[in-house]
Amino acid sequence: MPDDGLPLRNRWAVVTGSSRGIGRAIAVRMAAAGARVVLHGRDSGALSEAAAAVRAAGSEAAVVAASLDAAEGCDALLDAAVRLGALDIWVNNAGADVLTGEAAQWSFERKLAALWKVDVEATMRLSRGVGRRMQQRGGGVLLNMGWDQAETGMEGDSGELFAAAKGAVMAFTRSLAHSLAPDVRVNCLAPGWIRTAWGANADAGWQRRAAGESLRARWGTADDVAEAALWLASPAADFINGQAIRINGGFRYARPAE
């Protein structure tokens, strides 16, 4: 591969949940690195804006609208990707939002069900489906989305919910890497406190906590996660497999006093 600063040239990257936030940042960063990108989401307007950003980064964009809370939506996305031949890089970023809007008021049980369907079951179904096809083609990269505190724990309903869902994704990722070895690399991104929609509107206590629990003393950004995703998807990470990469600036276990 020529060293032209475009490590993903001539590759396709599918990024689920890429109409906004971390997914959009990953899609745009991979486009800037030469990848043609399949964007996925449910909001057609946001998807159109994300596709325009990918094209502005100098790459080709395709858009697939599908809900991943049922098998039919997962299969529709995978079928669309197969038709495009988009089986080089697959990023399972989509997740159920149970922290903002109406969903923030849901019961613990309803939140858990939503997270399990999208974050866990859809990730597993898509990973297994695309992974087998990558294996048959002789190569590919799969990236799933975990959470840094799934391995250390966090108090409260949100901590319990996300530790259960993302911990399952991280464990699945490690096992899938064994199943698809040696041809397909499977890794997990494990972000910490990233300033997404919830973080931007969190109260002062959460703002202090997010900065205080990172050795970098700041919130992470969607671009921080996108840079890690680009590296893991690139040939530079060819010997990285079956890992959960924490993107948190270094977790500070002893929380500073308020």
| Count: domains in the chain | 1
- Domain assignment of residue 49, given as a range: 12-246
Whether residue 205 lies inside any domain: the answer is: yes
Whether residue 30 lies inside any domain: the answer is: yes
C-alpha 37/C-alpha 15 separation (Å) is 7
Q: For residue 223, count CB atoms less than 10 angstroms from its CB and return exposed for 0-12, middle for 13-18, buried for 19 or more.
A: middle
C-alpha 184/C-alpha 128 separation (Å) is 11
Q: Which of 54, 49, 56, 7 is nearest to 26 (CA)?
A: 54
pLDDT above 60 for 256 = no
Residue 2, pLDDT score: 47
Q: Which of these ranges, 110-124, 192-206, 227-241, has the smallest mean pLDDT?
A: 192-206
Whether residue 16 lies inside any domain: the answer is: yes
Cβ neighbours, 10 Å, residue 42: 15
Q: What's the whole-number mean pLDDT along residues 10-20? A: 97
The CATH number covering residue 158 comes to 3.40.50.720
Q: Which of 38, 118, 50 is nearest to 78 (CA)?
A: 38
Residue 5, pLDDT score: 85
Whether residue 255 lies inside any domain: the answer is: no
What Cα–Cα distance (Å) separates residue 117 from each residue in 55, 110, 125, 126, 194? 31, 11, 10, 12, 23
C-alpha 115/C-alpha 123 separation (Å) is 11
Whether residue 6 lies inside any domain: the answer is: no
* pLDDT tens per residue, range 162-207: 999 999 999 999 999 999 999 999 999 999 999 987 888 888 988 9
Whether residue 139 lies inside any domain: the answer is: yes
* pLDDT tens per residue, range 41-78: 999 999 999 999 999 999 999 999 999 999 999 999 99
Q: Is the pTM of this model over 0.85?
A: yes
* pLDDT tens per residue, range 121-157: 999 999 999 999 999 999 999 999 999 999 999 999 9
C-alpha 59/C-alpha 52 separation (Å) is 10
Q: How confident is the model at residue 254 (pLDDT cuts 50, 70, 90)?
A: low
Mean pLDDT value across the chain: 95
Whether residue 84 lies inside any domain: the answer is: yes
